[in-house]
């Protein structure tokens, strides 16, 4: 899997590391590639590997993606927001995320994920060229106003012209001060739980980059779909991350078992969430899925 995290500030490398830790928590080999000035090289260990790449050279980025694929690694690239204009890079990415910690970087990150920002993207006249993956905006916990703008614009049956592809989660207030912790081999359980959630959303985006929105029902459907090989790979990864989330939550609560569960976290009462609506919807999504299964039977 190849994920690009685009940003004008340190939230980009921090979010890239967060996603990488989430993917690695379920056993994936993961590499984070960024400018030398953005991230220090990581020490050899169990955590994600950090490498350096020239983020403004298309050839260097494509070479990094090919090398990661040959080595069987997931690759998370931390790139400048202006890099979104590079169609060759975006078409090679499975998922594209934008993020910004402070204004105006946060506003640019949200604007870049608007539906109409990339309306001209599309296949050539013959319909054979793949479309570049559109960006999805990841808001931080202090950006409630941006969250509200993005979610309301895309919530109706006919999205408003400035509607935004929005990841349904508010990440911590990521910045330069978080990078030393995130470069480490092991994260505190609370941060790792957040990493698992964001990584799960990145996998959902990769499954359908051109979707208009992601909801709890989207994740439930992706975990249940296992007819095609690609669907099974996505399902396996999401189920593994769900099990890891359950394990981490159990480890942080006295008296709870820390064994690996057989059910994803959507099948139990979720923890308090930065967005109350999303905290309630997983259980509802599973109940709807269960009723549909009963009706089909």
Output the average pLDDT for the chain.
83
Q: What is the pLDDT of residues 286-295, one digit of tens each?
A: 344 444 445 5
> Which one of 185, 214, 243 terminates a domain?
214
Q: Same domain, yes or no, for 145 and 220? A: no
Q: Same domain, yes or no, for 178 and 47? A: yes
The CATH number covering residue 15 comes to: 3.40.50.300
Is 5's pLDDT higher than 70?
A: yes
How many domains are there within the chain? 2
Cβ pair 34, 78 in contact under 8 A = yes
Greater model confidence, 285 or 209 = 209
Q: What is the pLDDT of residues 72-86, one digit of tens each?
A: 999 999 999 999 999
Q: Same domain, yes or no, for 278 and 288? A: yes
Q: Same domain, yes or no, for 28 and 63? A: yes
Tell me the residue range of the domain where 88 lies: 2-214
Q: What is the pLDDT of residues 173-204, one digit of tens each?
A: 988 999 998 998 789 999 999 999 999 999 99
* DSSP result, 218-266: HHHHHHH--SSHHHHHHHHHHHHHHHHHHHHHHHTSTTS--SPPSS-GG
Cβ pair 192, 24 in contact under 8 A = no
Is 154's pLDDT higher than 80?
A: no
Q: What is the pLDDT of residues 237-261, one digit of tens each?
A: 999 999 999 999 887 655 444 443 3
pTM recorded for the entire structure: 0.81
State mean pLDDT over 213-222.
94
Q: What is the spatial distance between Cα 185 and Cα 6, in angstroms, rounded to a whole number?
A: 23
Q: Same domain, yes or no, for 203 and 221? A: no
Q: What is the spatial distance between Cα 21 and Cα 179, in angstroms, rounded to a whole number?
A: 12
DSSP state of 286: H
Is 234's pLDDT higher than 80?
A: yes
């Amino acid at each position: 899997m190849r994920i690009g995290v685009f940003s004008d500030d340190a939230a980009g490398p921090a979010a890239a590391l967060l996603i990488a830790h989430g993917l690695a928590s379920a056993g994936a080999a993961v590499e984070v590639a960024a400018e030398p000035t953005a991230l220090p090289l990581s020490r050899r260990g169990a955590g994600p590997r950090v490498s350096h790449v020239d983020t403004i050279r298309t050839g260097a980025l494509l070479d990094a993606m090919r090398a990661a694929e040959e080595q069987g690694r997931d690759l998370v690239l931390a790139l400048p927001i202006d890099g979104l204009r590079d169609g060759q890079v975006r078409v090679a990415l499975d998922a594209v995320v934008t993020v910004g910690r402070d204004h105006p970087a946060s506003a640019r990150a949200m604007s870049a994920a608007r539906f109409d920002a990339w309306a001209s993207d599309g296949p050539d006249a013959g319909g054979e060229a793949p479309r570049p993956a559109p960006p999805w905006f990841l808001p931080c916990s202090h950006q409630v106003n941006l969250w509200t703008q993005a979610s309301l614009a895309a919530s109706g049956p006919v999205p408003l012209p400035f509607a935004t592809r929005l990841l349904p989660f508010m990440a911590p207030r990521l910045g330069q001060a978080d990078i030393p912790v995130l470069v480490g081999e092991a994260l505190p359980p609370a941060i790792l739980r957040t990493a698992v959630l964001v990584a799960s959303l990145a996998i959902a985006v990769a499954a359908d980059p051109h979707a208009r929105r992601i909801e709890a029902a989207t994740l439930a459907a992706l975990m249940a779909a296992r007819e095609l090989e690609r669907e099974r790979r996505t399902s396996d990864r999401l189920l593994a991350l769900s099990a890891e989330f359950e394990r981490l939550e159990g480890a942080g609560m006295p008296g709870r078992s820390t064994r690996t569960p057989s059910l994803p976290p959507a099948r139990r009462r979720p923890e308090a969430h930065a967005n109350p609506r999303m905290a309630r919807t997983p259980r509802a999504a599973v109940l709807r899925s269960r009723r549909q299964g009963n009706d089909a039977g």
